[in-house]
Amino acid sequence: AQKITQTQPGMFVQEKEAVTLDCTYDTSDPSYGLFWYKQPSSGEMIFLIYQGSYDQQNATEGRYSLNFQKARKSANLVISASQLGDSAMYFCAMREGAGGTSYGKLTFGQGTILTVHP
């Protein structure tokens, strides 16, 4: 079974509108972390936002917010006020770990290509 599933191969959004990129995960570990990365066409991996499994509030970082629904095992990324520079591949990733540690491998989803139209 896939540990991280991104069901949207591609998404389109109009500039200045909000967009939600879906991510569901599967783990039996009570302690885990969820990450979103942006990969522009130049190839680098840019960290966007992090949500810990014990965090009570949804994470926010500027125009990025994470809609964390623990019971549904989903961690959707919301980008508000989309910009042309947001066009990129977006990856959801999970770290499973014990006791609040924050090291260990990341398992990535398949990615979603976001295209922002002017």
Partner 1 sequence: EPEVTQTPSHQVTQMGQEVILRCVPISNHLYFYWYRQILGQKVEFLVSFYNNEISEKSEIFDDQFSVERPDGSNFTLKIRSTKLEDSAMYFCASNQQGDGYTFGSGTRLTVV
10, 30, 62, 104: residue in contact with partner 1 (rule CB under 8 A):
104
69, 83, 101, 115: residue in contact with partner 1 (rule CB under 8 A):
101
Residues in contact with 39: Cβ distance below 8 Å, sequence separation at least 6, in sequence order: 45, 46, 88, 89, 90, 91, 111
Q: Distance between CA atoms of 87 and 110, rounded to whole angstroms?
A: 17
**In this structure, which amino acid lies at residue 57?**
Q
Least Cβ distance, residue 38 to partner 1 (angstroms): 11
Least Cβ distance, residue 10 to partner 1 (angstroms): 12
Q: Between residue 15 and residue 74, which ones bind partner 1 under the rule CB under 8 A?
A: 35, 37, 42-47, 50
Least Cβ distance, residue 104 to partner 1 (angstroms): 7
Look at residues 38, 24, 8, 20 and name the one whose alpha carbon lies nearest to residue 77. Answer: 20
- What DSSP line would sit under 67-96, residue for residue? EEETTTTEEEEEE-S--GGG-EEEEEEEEE
41, 56, 103, 118: residue in contact with partner 1 (rule CB under 8 A):
103
Interface contacts to partner 1, rule CB under 8 A: 35, 37, 42-47, 50, 91, 93, 101-111
